[in-house]
Amino acid sequence: MSNIEDKIIFITGVGSGIGRATTLKLLAAGAKVFGMSRTQAKLDRLEREAASDRLGVSCGDVRNEPDVQAAFSACVERFGGIDVLLNNAGIGEPTTDLSEAPLDKFERMFDTNVKGVFLCAREALKIMRPRKSGHILTVISMAGLRTNPVAPVYCASKFGARGLSSGLADQVLAEGIKVTDLNPGPVDTDYWGDRPVPREKFLKAEEVADVILFVLSQPEHVLIREINFDNIAFFKK
C-alpha cells in the first residue's frame, strides 16, 4: 500500500457504512484522512475509534455549499492540501409508486447524490488543478447502470452522478487528474433501515473499502475508470 501512505484523502459520509470502513482502513495504511459527516455524534465516535492524529473531521452537509467550502478549507489548513476526494455520501429512499412520490423525497436524493458530488468535486478541483494531479473517486452504485422499479428516483440520481463523473473525467484527464467510478451492488449498511431485504446476500462495507484501497494503491500512471462489483450470492436462488 505504499502509494496510499501519507496521501491526504477527503471523504464524505464518514460517519457510518462505507465511509467509516474506508477511513479506518486508510488510516491503517498510513494515509491522512479528512472526513465530513452531517452527524457530530458519529464523527465523535469515529475519532474515538481511530484515535489518530492523521484524522481530521468536519460536521456538515454535502448539500450545503458553505458547509462544503468550510470543510475543504479546514482540510487544507489541517493537512496542507488534498490528493484524493472520495465522494461517498449518498441517500436512497424507495419510490414504489411514482404518482404518489413527494417532491421533497426527490429533492433529498438529487441534492445529496448529484449536487453533493458536484459541490465537492468543484472544491477539490480548485486544489488539484494548479498541481496537475489528484484523484476523484465517486461511490455511485449498480443502480447507476441498471434501473429498479422500486426506486426509479434513486436510480435517476445515480445515473446523474455517473454522467457528471464521466463528463468530469473528459474535462480533467488531460490535466493529470484521475477520475474513477465505483459501482457496488447492494451493501449491508444502515442505508436499508428496517426494510425487509436479504442483507446476508449483500456486500459488506469493508469489502467495498478494500476495492477503494485497491484503486488507490495502483501506481500513479494507472487509471481505473470504473469498477462494477456485486456479491455473487445476490444472484443465486
Output the pTM of the full model: 0.96
Q: Using the structure block, give the residue that is written with the C-alpha cell 461517498.
A: 88
- Cβ 124 vs Cβ 72: under 8 Å: yes
Residue 1 has pLDDT above 90, yes or no: no
Q: What is the mean pLDDT of residues 71-79?
A: 98
Answer yes or no: 154 catalytic. yes
Angle at 173 between CA 116 and CA 36, to 5 degrees: 25
Q: What is the mean pLDDT of residues 73-85?
A: 98
- Cβ 33 vs Cβ 42: under 8 Å: no
Q: Which fold has domain 8-235?
A: Rossmann fold (3.40.50)
Q: Name the catalytic one among 154, 159, 191, 202.
A: 154
| Residue extents of the structural domains in the chain | 8-235
Which DSSP string corresponds to 136-193? EEEE--GGGTS--TT-HHHHHHHHHHHHHHHHHHHHHGGGTEEEEEEEE--EESGGGT
> Residue 215's closest CA among 207, 226, 204, 206?
226
φ and ψ at residue 33, rounded to 5 degrees: -120, 135
